[in-house]
Amino acid sequence: MATIFNRSRELWPMDRRTFVSGSLNMSRASCPLAPTPGICSLMEKESHFFIVCFCLFICFKTIATEAHAHGFTKLFVFGDSYVDTGNRNFSARSWNQPYGITLPGKPAGHYSNGRVFSDYIASWMGIRSPTPYRWRKMENTSLEYGMNFAFGGTGVFDTLVSAPNMTIQIDLFQRQLQKKLYTKVDLNSSIALVSLAGNDYTAYLARNGTTEGLSAFTKSMIKQLGLNLQRIHGLGVRKIAHIGQFSCLVSQPSIGENRGKAEQQSKESVFVILNMYKAFLSALKKQASQPGTLKFKDPLRPCCEAVSTGYKCGNTEHGKRMYVVCNNPNSTFFWDDVHPSQAGWRAVYLALKSSAYSLALM
């Protein structure tokens, strides 16, 4: 399956930000067909014209077919900052300089200098990155590619940020379905991308959670995650890709049971696990070992760093920047203290691409 739209279709919603995208360059069609000898020149010209038109048609048809060969045309996104493309309010640091410095050139609500993981999954599908829920009512907003319900900093349960947890995000999705915004046909050609990056643990520890209670907390979190995944499928979404540090935990009884129920009901495989931890390691090793590829010189050092303890990338004090930015964000794997750069996310996406392909084969 081709990924020819990797750069040309990773677009910001037009009503929010002026998007930057590459042009789709198609090489000249080559048709190894020659006119039959003995036919008059006029007929030869007509034959050539027909052949050229036919070949051009086939070329364009092939591009469109390859881009949507997997049959998925809509993406619904749930989770946190790994996949949030602008749902948090303007107080979030994703709306501060220098976020978005690479693409689109100014802050756009992405926790990166440019694209995040959900942008790359949309690109693989051959569609534009779905509009964030927050911007769904903006004039000229297109909702034909799905919708992004993810909010940076959130988790399965309530965390340290005032934003919808995963259950409420699914509630928001259900309301759109109740409004008939998407049909059963739409949902049957859709993928849900669910991210869980660890904010629940951060909140647990910040609220004086004990090591003794950590096991019980983890079990409750995994159980709720399993219920959330089953619920998304129950609303009609055909396939679900789950990413996060806890991808290996889907084998746990609480998630496995819900996964089994969903797949039994649909009589097909429903879930694909995108192991983010392994993808991070794989991306870093590959970048370090393959000749000719961009090297992450100091993989664990972020491009945007705070100047002192207590500050983060994007923080200011009395108008003064409390962070420094590297000269070339594309040379770093991490953008800030916890989020990959656009280059980092691309490397992760490439490491997970084979797993993404399995969605089309299930």
Distance CA 347, CA 325 (A): 21
Residue 205, in any domain of the structure:
yes
Is 339 an annotated catalytic residue?
yes
User: Into how many domains does the chain fold?
Assistant: 1
Burial classification of residue 185, based on how many CB atoms lie within 10 Å of its CB (0-12 exposed, 13-18 middle, 19 or more buried) = exposed
CA 258 to chain centre: 24
CATH code, 166: 3.40.50
Residue 100, in any domain of the structure:
yes
Give me the domain span that covers residue 114.
Answer: 74-247+266-291+342-361
SS3 content of the chain, % helix, strand, coil (to 5): 40, 10, 50
Tell me the CA distances in angstroms from 171 to 133, 167, 239, one per residue in order: 12, 6, 18
Per-residue model confidence (pLDDT) at position 29 = 37
Q: Which of 84, 119, 200, 336 is catalytic?
A: 336
Nearest Cα to 109, choosing from 100, 98, 117?
A: 100
What digits encode the pLDDT tens for the residues 61-116? 433 333 354 688 999 999 999 999 999 999 999 999 999 999 999 999 999 999 99
What's 176's DSSP letter? Answer: H
Distance CA 238, CA 256 (A): 18
Residues 6+ away with beta carbon under 8 Å from 108: 12, 16, 17, 85, 86, 99, 100
Residue 36, in any domain of the structure:
no
Residue 243, in any domain of the structure:
yes
Residue 181, in any domain of the structure:
yes
Nearest Cα to 225, choosing from 207, 203, 243?
A: 243
Per-residue model confidence (pLDDT) at position 346 = 95
* Mean pLDDT, the chain, whole residue set: 80
Per-residue model confidence (pLDDT) at position 294 = 56
Is 81 an annotated catalytic residue?
yes
Residue 238, in any domain of the structure:
yes
Residue 300, in any domain of the structure:
no
Q: Which of 70, 81, 200, 233 is catalytic?
A: 81
Residue that has been written with the tokens 């006029």 in this structure: 42
The set of long-range contacts for 182-189, using a CB threshold of 8 Å and a minimum separation of 24, is: 182/74, 184/236, 186/73, 186/74, 187/74, 187/235, 187/236, 187/237, 187/238, 188/236, 188/238, 189/71, 189/72, 189/73, 189/74, 189/238
Residue 148, in any domain of the structure:
yes
Nearest Cα to 148, choosing from 185, 184, 109?
A: 109
Residues of the chain with pLDDT under 70: 1-70, 244-269, 287-295, 361-362
